[in-house]
Structure 1
Amino acid sequence: MAQRSLKNFTTVRRTAALLTPVAVAAFLLAGCSPDENPTDAKGTQPSVVTGDRAPVDVGGVGQPSEGGEATATLRQPNGQPAGEASFESSEGSVIVTVKAENLAPGFHAMHLHAVGKCEPNSTAPSGGAPGDFLSAGSHLQVDGNTSHPASGDLVSIYINEEGKGETVTATDGFDIQQILETAIVIHEKPDNFGNIPTKYAPAPDEETLMTGDAGKRIACGVIEES
């Protein structure tokens, strides 16, 4: 059964260092004093080597990311403010921070949509009946990804009784350059990510796969480089 599942993305740093047999021997000799023989006892460590050491080139691992940053100002269909979103590159992922306001309490789906237009009462690029922020198009899919979850699928945001909410998540579904002049959209309902119990349907239909049954688009912001 084809389903979309929410992915938690965790940044993992891997550092690979390759040592030739000659380098290994040189390291062991450096750890012994001139009159000291290496020991065969398990669990021992070489003597501490003092003084400056040459830096090891590990191919940029651990270096600061230079992927850039982006922001979006969220607005409701009536033009009222609905919050802000920021996007920051960090070690192979993008950290997405959304601070929302003036929205109905509860969970609301969030997605990046392919077109950087946030027009109320507009039609989708593919045509059809008009609706709020439909000009933003469908969920973002970066080059090479055609499956679900879509590249632009994000976690839902929870809005409290005061109409405010904040969430921070990390994703490797896109980089900063791939989302410039796209749009972030908040929906009226949460995204089910295609998880439909089989007692209701043998499999999610195409609309569920494409939208997550998240309902109307209630806030939208064009993503721009900052």
Structure 2
Amino acid sequence: MRQASEEDSVMPRPPRFALGLSLGLAVAGGLALGLAATAVPGASAAPATPSRTGGTAAAVVRDASGRVLGSVRFERYDLEKTRVSVSVRGLAPGFHGFHIHAAGVCDPRAVDRATGTPFSSAGSHLGPGTHGAGAGDMPPLLAADDGTASASFVTDRFTLEDLADANGSAVVVHAGPDNFAHIPKRYFHRPDSMGATGPDLTTRRTGDAGARVGCGVVRPRA
């Protein structure tokens, strides 16, 4: 019979079941690491989801009498894109021009003498770009028979930082549809003040969307 040594008394051996359990866990761990490191033929990484964090902005849209028509929300979609969500009411049925204007001032008493429309304090469309291709051009709103309109879309024409520049910005809803200056040149009219015979100056500037019936200052939110 083997006599117990001094080493045996100092370092007792672990039970056999413990040794087996440790060995099994080590083998399983190695197998898992091997599978994780093995590329599956034809597989691709999951597409990255756009980040919707990092701040928002919003605007309350009012008509010239101060009545609330609705609201517009701006969210950061990713580094270059912004999600726009709008819900308004009290509009005439049909399409309405919907734009970002370059100045964050919605004064109904500021009436454009040439057109008689209020909110001229909001300035021109957010630039750069000509009408129809400018940063401030957004899809038109389609109001139902009950006067409500809602939409949600993603655009890369402006970021939240663009909306919160030194002058601020405003959203404007127009009385009529916006043709985005898409009048074919084959439609002839007498030369306007700029000598153009295709889309006239009014069309090129506003898209013939008509009066500004709603305005809302864009305000950043944390």
Does TM, scored on the shorter chain, surpass 0.5? Answer: yes
Residue matched to 1:218 = 213
2:149 aligned partner: 165
Residues 49/169 of structure 1: CA separation in 2 closer, same or farther (3 Å cut): same
Measure, in 2, the Cα distance between the counterparts of 1:122 and 1:130: 10
Larger Rg: 2
- Contact 1:81–1:102 (CA under 8 A) maintained in structure 2: no
Q: RMSD across aligned C-alpha pairs, in angstroms?
A: 2.6
Q: d(CA) in 2 for partners of 1:166 and 1:49?
A: 52
Match of 2:61 among 67, 71, 74: 74
**Alignment-derived partner of residue 169 in structure 2:** 182
2:206 and 2:50 mapped to 1: Cα distance?
38
- 1:50 corresponds, among 22, 35, 44, to 35
Q: Is the 8 A contact 1:185 1:218 kept in 2?
A: yes
Distance, in Å, in 1 between the alignment partners of 2:205 and 2:215 is: 18
Match for 2:70 among 70, 76, 83? Answer: 83
Pairwise mapping of residues 38-187 of structure 1 onto structure 2 (< 5 A)?
49-51=34-36, 64=51, 66-91=53-78, 92-123=80-111, 131-141=117-127, 145-148=128-131, 149-180=133-164, 181-187=168-174
AA aligned to 2:154 is A
2:104–2:217 contact (8 Å) kept in structure 1: yes
CA distance in 2, matches of 1:65, 1:96: 12
Give TM-score scaled by structure 1 length: 0.67
Given that residues 94 and 174 in structure 1 are in contact (C-alpha distance below 8 angstroms), is that contact kept between their aligned partners in structure 2?
Answer: yes
Give distance in 2, aligned partners of 1:129 and 1:204. 18
Q: What is the TM-score of this pair, normalised by structure 2?
A: 0.68
Runs of 4+ in 1 over 4 A off after TM superposition: 127-130
| CA shift in 2, pair 1:196/1:161, >3 Å | same
Which letter maps to 1:96?
V
Deviation digits for residues 62-117 of structure 1, max 9, x if unmatched?
A: 57355521000000101111000001111231111110111111110100000111
Q: Secondary structure at the match of 1:50?
A: helix
Counterpart amino acid of residue 50 in structure 1? L
